Amino acid sequence: RCVEALLVYCWSGREKEPYFTITRKRRLQKGYEVEIEQEVGHSERRLATHHNAFTHMVVIQAFLGSTPQLTHQLYISILDKYVPPALQHCLTPLLSPSASVLMAICLVSVTYGALVCNILAIQVKYDDYKVQLRPLAFLCIVLWRSLEISTRIAVLVLFSTVFKHWIIPIALANILVVFFLPWVQFWRSGSHLPDNIEKNFSRLGTVVVLCAFTLLYSSINMLCWSAMQLKLADQDLIDKSQNWGCLAVYYVARLVENMALIILWYFFKTDVYENVCTALLVLQLLLGYCLGIYFMLLFFQYLHPCRQLFQHNVADFLHCVCCRRQPAGTPLCLEAPFEPGVRHSIV
């Protein structure tokens, strides 16, 4: 792909292409939709295909390559001061200052993969619109993802230093629950398997590909919100609705799980942590995760490039939750259908 993409890029524009495709995209400007028409040549389409493949590969490499590396390096660094002297010479390469640099690189890689996943989810859900993120939105996503991923990995690593045998069933339970959830929803819907994944795939091949796709999806959700929600009954395999309920359930459940794991570590920690203010560490990890949730809510409320297309945003969802405490007979939410070209309030 790299070689072909470079060749296509070098030779594009030298000769006039025999045919081209006209694409139409809509852009949101000051609450109104503006339709943009553009001619796309054959070489540009091939470059776009390669670009999409490289973008998806970034997500796979970040979560299946950098995440285990970051977890391993953090685990070794935590045990830096607590290994027996006889093993110090064996672990010297892993305990050197370069380990911090490697952890920083891995964290940047995973955060970048989560950022790409967010952008892909927005582009898939709003395919008819030309999506452009402002620099402030990029900064907000980076803060949200870096805090969420780093605190999650730190909690899992600290828990594994005390409960070495319990971390495996906890990780498997996280993966299996998220892995089977799309399949249970698909089974309950009564739909058939999509046949547009690849024309030469058999029914078994389609199931294998969907299982691999679901495994990647569950691996991402173990560390952070995947942004792309699977819907196996849909031809695109992606749920394009903005489901605030699933988002709220995920973060509430993950916050409770992190709190339970770090509290268990606090009460059952060994004496090797006596030089560390463990109570402050627990507070920092919980506040860091809550701060990541805050930046997530800030992004969806004010910085999402297509927030004007939301029928309801974060403030409306929180308002509906608060309205449930009102007396019976009071309406919870006012369902207002979205009208293209009409600017909707976001407060």
Confirm whether 297 is domain-assigned. Answer: yes
Answer whether residue 136 is part of any domain: yes
Cα–chain center distance at 165: 28
Q: What is the pLDDT of residue 131?
A: 76
- Residue 7 pLDDT more than 70? yes
Q: What is the mean pLDDT of residues 77-97?
A: 52
Instruction: Report in angstroms the alpha-carbon separations of 309 from 159, 306, 331, 337.
Output: 42, 6, 23, 10
How many Cβ atoms from other residues are within 10 Å of residue 228's Cβ?
20
pLDDT digits 0-9 by tens, 196-214: 565 566 778 778 888 888 8
| pLDDT for res 338 | 41
201 against 226, higher pLDDT? 226
Q: 124 in a domain, yes or no?
A: yes
Given a contact cutoff of 8 angstroms between Cβ atoms, the answer to whether 156 and 262 are in contact is: no
Whether the pLDDT of residue 285 is over 90: the answer is yes
Q: What is the mean pLDDT of the chain?
A: 77
Q: Please tell me the predicted confidence (pLDDT) of residue 339.
A: 43
Least confident of 8-17, 288-297, 326-335: 326-335
Candidate from 38-47, 79-88, 120-129, 204-213 with smallest mean pLDDT: 79-88
- How many domains, in total, are found in the chain? 1
**90, 100, 289, 295, 346 from 110: Cα distances, Å:** 28, 15, 16, 18, 31
- Average of pLDDT values for 279-305? 91
The DSSP result for 120-153, as a single string, is HHHHHHTTTB-----HHHHHHHHHHHHHHHHHHH
Q: What is the pTM of this model?
A: 0.76
- Give the residue numbers spanning the domain of 204: 1-83+96-306
Q: Is 293 helix (H, G, I), strand (E, B) or coil?
A: helix
For residue 110, being part of any structural domain is answered with yes
